[in-house]
Amino acid sequence: MRFIKILVCLIFIVTSPLSSNAQSKTNFTDSLGRKQGHWVKYDKDRKKVYDGNFLNDIPVGKFTYYLTTGTPWAITTFLHNGTVGYTQHLNAQGKITGEGKYIEQQKDSLWKFYDESGKLKAEENYLKGKKNGKSKVFYSSGQVAEDNTWSNDILDGTSTKYFESGQIKSQRQYVKGLVEGKAVYNYPTGKTYAEGTYKNDVKNGIWNFYNEDGTLKKKVTYINGISKNNEDQLIMTKEEEEQLRKKYEQSESNNPGGR
């Protein structure tokens, strides 16, 4: 009887650490093939891909994702049975470059993007992974540089650009990605330097171009983007338009809005 008791004690001593290790080890899969507990995934070169926890194959809580260099590039906190992930994207120095929400692995709601110094660079609204609603681009000073409206990842609505002073630089309308209707371009003072209409993304109809004092400089009639004036001296060439734009608009390097 004493021998049996000793044998039972030995078995308990030997198996207890094994049981504890089984419960605490990483990359554990249960009898149904579901990921459970702490997981660290590696690629074929044994580089870490992600580090996080699962419950019944569902990601739970904080996950960190890594570049092949070992530097984290994203940190996501999973909620609602893994369907929602609040994420921060990071650069190689560990600074946040973007943050927002994923639903079912697609961008959703408001996302914010930052430059290398950590200043807000842009705000965009998403629905099922595509831009929808308002978006803004900012100068490094924090002043709005561009304000757009999107529908299903396509510009659709009013697009307004600003000088860093806050004066409106240009305003035009988009319909399903194409410029349509009235457009106005201004000097930094706020006075108009060009106005007219677009049709199917090209100038169409009468366009007026003004001097900075507000007097009319040229009047040009466009048909499908091509000027149709009888007197050559009244026609403003594309080169002249470009020179005027460069003269009175800030350089593209100071305009994070791009297009």
The residues, ordered by sequence, that sit 6+ positions from 179 with a Cβ below 8 Å of its Cβ are 172, 173, 198, 201
Would you state the pLDDT for residue 243? 61
The CA distances from residue 165 to 32, 122, 169, 183, in Å, are 63, 18, 10, 21
pLDDT tens across the length of the chain (259 residues): 443 343 334 334 333 443 334 445 799 999 999 999 999 999 999 999 999 999 999 999 999 999 999 999 999 999 999 999 999 999 999 999 999 999 999 999 999 999 999 999 999 999 999 999 999 999 999 999 999 999 999 999 999 999 999 999 999 999 999 999 999 999 999 999 999 999 999 999 999 999 999 999 999 999 988 887 643 334 445 555 556 555 555 434 444 444 3
The CA dihedral of 119, 83, 28, 10, to the nearest 10 degrees, is 100
Would you state the pLDDT for residue 227? 85
Q: List b or e across 58-74, with b for residues whose CB sees 16 or more CB atoms inside 10 angstroms.
A: ebbeebebbeeeeebbb
Q: Which helix (H) or strand (E) holds 155?
A: strand 154-155
Contact criterion met (CB below 8 Å) for 38 and 53:
yes
The CA distances from residue 125 to 24, 113, 148, in Å, are 41, 11, 11
Would you state the pLDDT for residue 232? 38
Q: Which helix (H) or strand (E) holds 41?
A: strand 35-42
Q: Give the pair of three-digit tokens for residue 196.
A: 């007219």
Contact criterion met (CB below 8 Å) for 163 and 144:
no
Give the start-to-end residue ranges of the domains of the chain. 26-104
Q: Which helix (H) or strand (E) holds 158?
A: strand 157-162
Would you state the pLDDT for residue 225? 86
| Helix boundaries (H) for the chain | 2-24, 238-248
Where do we find the tokens 């007219």? 196
Would you state the pLDDT for residue 20? 39
Would you state the pLDDT for residue 61? 97
pTM above 0.85, yes or no: no
